[in-house]
């Protein structure tokens, strides 16, 4: 298991407390997105399609720590954008560790080696490095030749300096089961990382490349084929056994998006990390005003193919607590890789997807000076440029650490 014992015990205690209190919906992992700006432009990314003005927004240290306090989840994942571009990210991490949060700092690792001095090794801190398979696949996924070597060198340096490192691997439909199995061998036995987080890519509507996302059936078959090759190889996944069993098509789960609430530069995001359909000012408001039943596979078109850990790991963890013997059996023998799969969810009654993103961006930008680069963002999408009378000086503001 790619999660330290202290984290397992602390999270276990937290879950038990929620169960005793009878809390129906509670957070497990806070997804803290302090910025959207990235130094890569991966074709499968749905997080960076914003005008410059929005890409230059940052959550302050105080806002990040307040979000952690408001939410109370024992684990904080910091994705982005690229969090290492945030010039105060070390203070955010330090503040979270002071609060005894288990922090997963997600990074594409281009800037990791030169930023390691900003952090201290700790059982509370794990660098979660984006590595989407072997070189050929990773370089394509990040649209950068040589990206794999940079990430691998940074992982080795971080490990040498005593940091905990996790590989965060998103699977698309180009990777074969053999390639995935070899890659997990490499991560476990050569890189020696503490854990691997694996998930199928979510079909972001804003991603440039729409051709390589997996549908649910192909996801399940791919994971069965991978796990077949993994028997006895001791890959250290940082996810629960039941979530892996779900990926292999053996569990009939519904997502629990409130288990991974997202705080970003716009506020608390409804309903989940993967789709932004509204923003509110507080965690309490998010939990109380989101119409949870209108989302999820079978309820909403944008959820049709989702099997991502930030939606379903919470479900698997709750199932583990409710059915420990079942979970233990899966842990001991690994996910089942043959036999019938759990019934698939009926998609026929799912409501159509809303076009929230463009309206939201237009509203956000209506009172701010528009730069030439912002203007190009709207024009490229055939959208009216908001606040034309409010034209800025044409220069994008400089952002520290970039």
Binding site for ligand SF4 (CB under 6 A): 38, 40-42, 45, 47-48, 80-82, 108, 130, 142, 255, 257, 271-272, 274-275, 295-297, 303, 306, 308, 311
CA 300 to CA 293: how far, in whole Å?
10
H/E stretch holding 313: helix 309-322
Decide whether 47 or 58 has the Cβ nearer to ligand SF4: 47
CB of 269 to ligand SF4, least distance (A): 10
CA 341 to CA 325: how far, in whole Å?
20
Do residues 27 and 258 lie in contact, with contact meaning Cβ atoms separated by under 8 Å? yes
CA 25 to CA 376: how far, in whole Å?
42
Do residues 87 and 108 lie in contact, with contact meaning Cβ atoms separated by under 8 Å? no
Q: Residue 207: phi, psi to the nearest 5? A: -75, 145
CB of 112 to ligand SF4, least distance (A): 12
CB of 95 to ligand SF4, least distance (A): 23
Decide whether 97 or 115 has the Cβ nearer to ligand SF4: 115
DSSP state of 100: T
CB of 311 to ligand SF4, least distance (A): 2
Decide whether 27 or 271 has the Cβ nearer to ligand SF4: 271
Q: Which residue is nearest to ligand SF4 (CB)?
A: 311
CB of 300 to ligand SF4, least distance (A): 6
CA 318 to CA 312: how far, in whole Å?
10
Decide whether 47 or 386 has the Cβ nearer to ligand SF4: 47
Question: From the centroid of its chain, how far is CA 163?
Answer: 21
Q: 148: Cβ–Cβ under 8 A, 6 or more apart, which residues?
A: 131, 134, 135, 138, 139
Q: 314: Cβ–Cβ under 8 A, 6 or more apart, which residues?
A: 28, 29, 256, 258, 259, 260
Decide whether 41 or 321 has the Cβ nearer to ligand SF4: 41
CB of 255 to ligand SF4, least distance (A): 3
Decide whether 199 or 238 has the Cβ nearer to ligand SF4: 199
Pairing of strands 75-78, 267-271: unpaired
CB of 2 to ligand SF4, least distance (A): 20
DSSP-assigned beta bridge partners for residue 106: 128
Decide whether 130 or 263 has the Cβ nearer to ligand SF4: 130
The token duo for 49 is 């399609």
């Amino acid at each position: 298991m790619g999660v330290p014992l202290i984290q397992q015990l602390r999270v276990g205690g937290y879950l038990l407390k929620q169960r005793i209190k009878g809390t129906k919906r509670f957070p497990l992992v806070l997804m803290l997105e302090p910025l959207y700006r990235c130094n890569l432009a991966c074709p499968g990314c749905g997080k960076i399609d914003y005008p410059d003005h929005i890409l230059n927004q940052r959550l302050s240290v105080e806002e990040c720590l307040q979000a952690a306090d408001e939410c109370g989840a024992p684990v904080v994942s910091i994705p982005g954008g690229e969090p290492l571009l945030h010039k105060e990210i070390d203070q955010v991490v330090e503040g979270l560790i002071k609060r005894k949060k288990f922090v997963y700092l997600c990074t594409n690792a281009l800037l990791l080696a030169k930023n390691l001095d900003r952090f201290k090794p700790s059982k509370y801190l794990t660098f979660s490095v984006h590595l989407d398979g072997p070189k050929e696949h990773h370089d394509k996924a990040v649209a950068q030749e040589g990206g794999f070597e940079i990430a691998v060198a940074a992982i080795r340096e971080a490990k040498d300096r005593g940091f905990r490192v996790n590989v965060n691997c998103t699977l698309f439909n180009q990777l074969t089961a053999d390639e995935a199995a070899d890659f997990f061998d490499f991560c476990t036995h050569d890189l020696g990382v503490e854990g691997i987080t694996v998930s199928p890519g979510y079909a972001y509507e804003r991603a440039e490349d729409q051709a390589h996302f997996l549908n649910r059936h192909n996801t399940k078959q791919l994971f069965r084929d991978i796990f077949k090759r993994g028997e006895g190889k001791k890959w250290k996944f940082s996810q629960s056994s039941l979530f892996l069993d779900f990926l292999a098509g053996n569990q009939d789960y519904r997502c629990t998006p409130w288990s991974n609430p997202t705080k970003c530069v716009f506020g608390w995001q409804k309903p989940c990390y993967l789709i932004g359909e509204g923003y509110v000012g507080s965690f309490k408001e998010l939990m109380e005003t989101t119409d949870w039943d209108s989302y999820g596979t079978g309820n909403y078109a944008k959820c049709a193919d989702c099997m991502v850990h930030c939606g379903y790991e919470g479900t698997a963890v709750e199932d583990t607590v409710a059915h420990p013997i079942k979970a233990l059996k899966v842990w001991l023998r690994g996910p089942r890789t043959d036999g019938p799969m759990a019934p698939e969810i009926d998609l026929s009654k799912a409501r159509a997807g809303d076009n929230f993103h463009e309206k939201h961006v237009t509203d956000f930008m209506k009172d701010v000076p528009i730069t030439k680069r912002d203007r190009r963002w709207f024009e490229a999408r055939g959208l009216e440029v908001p606040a034309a009378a409010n034209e800025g000086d044409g220069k994008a503001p400089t952002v520290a650490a970039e």
